[in-house]
Amino acid sequence: MSVLRARRLCTLAAALTLTLGGTATAASAVGARTSAAADLREVMFVGNNWEGTSDVIRSSGDFARIGRIDVIPDKAARMAAINADPIKWAYFMGIRNGVGEGHDQFVDDMYSTPDGRSVVVSRPSFADVVSIDLGTGRINWRFPVAGYRSDHMAVSPDGTRVAVSASTANTVHVLDITTGAQLGSFTTGDKPHENIFTHDGKYIWNMAIGDVTTALDDPWLDWTKGDRKITVVDAATFKQVKVIDMRQRLDAIGLRDFSDAVRPAVFSPDESKLYFQVSFFNGFLEYDVATDRITRVKTLPKNPATSSDRTTWVNDSRHHGISMNPSGTKLCVAGTMDDYATVVDRATLQKGPLVPASKPYWATVSGDGKDCVVSESGADQVTAIDFATGQKTVSVPVGDHPQRVRLGHVEANWSGPTGG
């Protein structure tokens, strides 16, 4: 059982004691919940974006595949609705020929429900979020997002809420993960992308990346990319708490040629520092939350085989994917267009070995915290890298164009939907 899972159980136990009164009754309820938790298995969900499937693999060790989920069981119905609406069809084709690189985007992000019985998936080309029953493979609920494309999600620390970016509507929806009911929403900058809940669940940070599909990629044309900013909101009221424009912070340290489009990001364990990637940059930056300034910049090696023509870099990415080990001592960076991943010492910013990887698109942490796991979208596999040594440990084949990789849970004996 992961540390996060254990904390959730402690919180639930306390809540049950207060609500139920009687020691015997509370103990019985907590015991039942603990037993149910013991029947869950921690796994990793790998979203195969172009294929419309999610592979479920072990969360550590050999990362062997346990099962596979079809995340577009309603494809025929969705395509019929799109083909009947000229505007929806135009956006669908725009996604295919733009951010999809000639492919449909069927799965961007996914999280399991606390009971391990369903997985919630954002589907960009279908502009929605769906909950899929892991036992039957059927859709429990569907939420159409505002606009015409869904994107990155985040799950609250207690696992009950999921935030999803509606990228063409400059909106983030927050949904009940069990029912799909909208609990609230908030506006963002142009093209909301990454979402992060703070550890206490009180705030949501959203990063808007602007328009990444234009060819206006020279630094002097960066202003054409739109309104890019970090929006911080209260997770209970969805009211804006703070807006951070990295353009001002970059200019303050002389980085006027850097894009201010914040891409993947990760907090330090105490949430005092934010480490983030920006468009076109081979490296990452460190932002101090309390002083509201960029404190360090780490440039990572360029691959000499990578074209210097920015218009050839996928969706304005250079490096896309960053994670941190649980102790906060090591960072793992996916060098997307440079075809490697590397572990970086957080204190010294000294990089480890460059582990060859084919268009690594995401980086996350294994269930036991020992490995960084990157999705190799160009090789249709996920690769684990030991945080301690910086060396590759194993690669596991998955489906077509893996992108997001998320920890989650399934029932202990699950091996794939059985229908019904």
In a domain, 418, yes or no: no
In a domain, 178, yes or no: yes
Q: Are residues 308 and 360 in the same domain?
A: yes
d(CA 263, CA 249): 16
Question: How many residues belong to the chain?
Answer: 420
Q: At 221, which amino acid appears?
A: L
Q: Are residues 215 and 187 in the same domain?
A: yes
Q: Are residues 232 and 126 in the same domain?
A: yes
d(CA 50, CA 375): 14
In a domain, 419, yes or no: no
**For the residues of 321-345, what is the DSSP string, one character each?**
-EEE-TTSSEEEEEEGGGTEEEEEE
| pLDDT by position in tens, the chain (length 420) | 444 444 444 433 333 333 334 434 444 443 444 445 569 999 999 999 999 999 999 999 999 999 999 999 999 999 999 999 999 999 999 999 988 989 999 999 999 999 999 999 999 999 999 999 999 999 999 999 999 999 999 999 999 999 999 999 999 999 999 999 999 999 999 999 999 999 999 999 999 999 998 999 999 999 999 999 999 999 999 999 999 999 999 999 999 999 999 999 999 999 999 999 999 999 999 999 999 999 999 999 999 999 999 999 999 999 999 999 999 999 999 999 999 999 999 999 999 999 999 999 999 999 999 999 999 999 999 999 999 999 999 999 999 999 999 999 999 999 999 875
Q: Are residues 230 and 159 in the same domain?
A: yes
Q: Are residues 198 and 283 in the same domain?
A: yes
Q: Around 281, how many Cα atoms within 13 Å sit in the side-chain half-sphere? A: 23
In a domain, 215, yes or no: yes
Q: Are residues 231 and 200 in the same domain?
A: yes
Determine the structural domain holding residue 2 and report its residue range.
1-38
Q: Are residues 29 and 101 in the same domain?
A: no
Tell me 278's DSSP state: E
Sign of the Cα torsion 315, 255, 230, 45 reads positive
In a domain, 417, yes or no: no
Residue 37 has a pLDDT of: 56
Q: Are residues 73 and 14 in the same domain?
A: no
Q: Are residues 33 and 78 in the same domain?
A: no
* Cα distances (Å, whole numbers) of residue 18 to 29, 32, 159: 12, 16, 21
- For residue 122, the domain's CATH number is 2.130.10.10
Contact 324, 345 (CB under 8 A): no
Residue 16 has a pLDDT of: 33
Residue 216 has a pLDDT of: 92
Q: Are residues 27 and 117 in the same domain?
A: no
Residue 38 has a pLDDT of: 62
Residue 418 has a pLDDT of: 87
In a domain, 420, yes or no: no
Residue 55 has a pLDDT of: 98
Q: Are residues 185 and 254 in the same domain?
A: yes
Q: Residue 220: phi, psi to the nearest 5?
A: -70, -10
Contact 131, 180 (CB under 8 A): yes
Q: Which of 220, 215, 304, 317 is nearest to 263 (CA)?
A: 317
In a domain, 169, yes or no: yes
d(CA 208, CA 224): 14
Q: Are residues 17 and 78 in the same domain?
A: no
Domain total of the chain? 2
Q: Whole-angstrom distance between the N-terminal and C-terminal Cα of the chain?
A: 29
Contact 371, 23 (CB under 8 A): no
